[in-house]
Amino acid sequence: MLLINHVLSGALIGALARRPLTAFAAGVASHFVLDAVPHWGDWGSRRRFLQVAVPDGLVSLAVMGAFAAASPADRRLAVLAGMTGAALPDADKPANLWFGCSPFPAAVDRFHMGIQREAWHRGYVELLAAGLLSAAALTALGRSRRGSGGGGGRGRLPR
């Protein structure tokens, strides 16, 4: 799946999970769940893959920054951890491109490749996922913002 959808699901997880370590672990797990959903891909050529992957990576970085900035201070680390965990398994793509090898054990790469069901006509899956995940992440963040507002965080235990 596109990196942007992994980042959005990681933001949602971080907004809900509160604890950075939980958010990170759940984020990594969410990556494989999303990748197992039949999605867009089967690029045919490296050039076409890069035409999608490069803008996807850049937009994802910008969205990570925006979500981190928009998060209430007491959720920021969890949101960042969720997004990082959710994006991490795809670190094999830039690593392969730049260094010619994956940073992960071969078994992880085999599993990651094995669950992909990609088809060129499934761009709508990515759009649908982006719509749903961004709405859910923004709602969850809005709720956590209201929850941590008011008394300026007074009466809440630090996490």
Stretch that binds Zn ion, among 33-41, 63-71, 80-88, 99-107 (CB under 5 A): 33-41
Nearer of residues 35 and 56 to Zn ion, judged by Cβ: 35
Helix (H) or strand (E) holding 73: helix 73-87
* Contact string 98-137 vs Zn ion (x = CB under 5 A): ----------------------------------------
- From candidates 20, 56, 90, 129, binder to Zn ion by CB under 5 A: 90
35 binds Zn ion (CB under 5 A): yes
Nearest CA among 97, 91, 102, 88 for reference residue 46? 97
Stretch that binds Zn ion, among 27-35, 76-84, 103-111, 131-139 (CB under 5 A): 27-35
Helix (H) or strand (E) holding 39: strand 39-40
According to DSSP, the residues that pair with 40 across neighbouring strands are 119
Spell out the residues 6+ positions from residue 4 whose beta carbon is closer than 8 angstroms to its own. Answer: 56, 59, 60, 63, 130
56 binds Zn ion (CB under 5 A): no
Nearer of residues 2 and 141 to Zn ion, judged by Cβ: 2
Nearer of residues 34 and 77 to Zn ion, judged by Cβ: 34
Stretch that binds Zn ion, among 28-36, 48-56, 120-128, 133-141 (CB under 5 A): 28-36
Residue 34, phi then psi, degrees to nearest 5:
-65, -40
Nearer of residues 35 and 126 to Zn ion, judged by Cβ: 35
Whether 21 and 81 have beta carbons less than 8 Å apart is answered as yes
Q: How many of the other CB atoms lie within 10 Å of CB of 124?
A: 10
Residues forming contacts to Zn ion in the complex (CB under 5 A) are 35, 90
